[in-house]
């Protein structure tokens, strides 16, 4: 797909309120280089609410986006995009999502998220510049400063944090949507647009054609590797 067409697609996200902190050509170059995507959980897949009887949920909207993203990268590279969660907490919904979506790894209960990053980089033989990271708050910054492509999920209540992220070059894009308004779907569609595979993935999934059937068969064989933090807090 011509780069000018991809630029037009990226403009759609800017028009909806997304903030690109790097030029479009640099964003596209980074997106093309990605081999792994890591997500924080609370505040990214949901609003981050906690409490007795409150379990951090996920949505079908975000699930579909992530599935299409991994399919799109398989179309681009021949390999399913590595995907996993690094979170300071552990809950049943996170585990359910990881199993259902056949993610590659889970680092749950990691208060020092950099520890989780180093583990998965080593285990999957991946370089930091080949990782996309989707996050929302301060405890994620040690990972964000190392990764090749960083997405900060918008939280309008923390303008000072967003300014800190911008001034310290800790994000390449700030989402228009919050975690509870499907920021993950925004990120996944943006990445698909950036690699020129959005229409291909939609059409293939819509018809459940042989390409998608082959992909989903391979994806469904993946069982997440679990890693434990060296220190329990």
The structure tokens listed for 71 are: 């399919």
Task: Decide: 62 and 18 in contact? Cβ < 8 Å.
Answer: no
Strands 19-20 and 173-174: antiparallel
pLDDT tens digits for range 156-204: 999 999 999 999 999 999 999 999 999 999 999 999 999 999 999 999 9
pLDDT tens digits for range 89-111: 878 889 999 999 999 999 988 99
Which class would CATH give 3-227? alpha beta
Residue ranges per structural domain of the chain? 3-227
Q: Is the pTM of this model over 0.85?
A: yes
Q: How many other C-beta atoms can be found within 10 angstroms of the C-beta atom of residue 175? A: 28
What are the beta bridge partners of residue 106?
85, 226
Cα–Cα distance measured from residue 19 to residue 41, given in angstroms and rounded to the nearest whole number: 21
pLDDT tens digits for range 54-79: 678 899 999 999 999 999 999 999 99
């Amino acid at each position: 797909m011509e780069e000018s067409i991809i630029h037009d697609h990226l403009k759609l996200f800017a028009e909806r309120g997304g903030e690109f902190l790097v030029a479009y050509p640099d964003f596209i170059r980074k997106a093309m280089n990605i081999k792994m995507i890591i997500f924080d959980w609370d505040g990214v897949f949901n609003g981050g609410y906690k409490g007795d009887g409150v379990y951090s949920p996920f949505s079908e909207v975000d699930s579909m986006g992530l599935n299409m993203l991994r399919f799109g990268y398989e179309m681009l590279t021949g390999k399913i995009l590595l995907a996993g969660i690094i979170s300071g907490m552990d809950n049943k919904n996170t585990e359910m999502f990881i199993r259902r979506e056949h993610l590659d790894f889970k680092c749950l209960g990691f208060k020092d998220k950099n520890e989780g990053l180093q583990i998965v980089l080593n285990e999957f033989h991946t370089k930091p510049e080949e990782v996309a990271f989707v996050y929302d708050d301060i405890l994620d910054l040690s990972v964000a400063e190392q990764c090749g492509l960083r997405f900060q999920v918008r939280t309008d209540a923390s303008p000072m944090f967003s300014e800190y992220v911008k001034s310290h070059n800790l994000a390449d894009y700030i989402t228009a949507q919050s975690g509870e308004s499907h920021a993950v779907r925004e990120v996944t569609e943006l990445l698909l647009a950036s690699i020129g595979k959005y229409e291909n993935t939609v059409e293939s999934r819509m018809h459940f054609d042989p390409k998608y059937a082959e992909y989903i068969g391979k994806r469904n064989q993946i069982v997440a590797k679990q890693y434990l933090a060296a220190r329990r807090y």
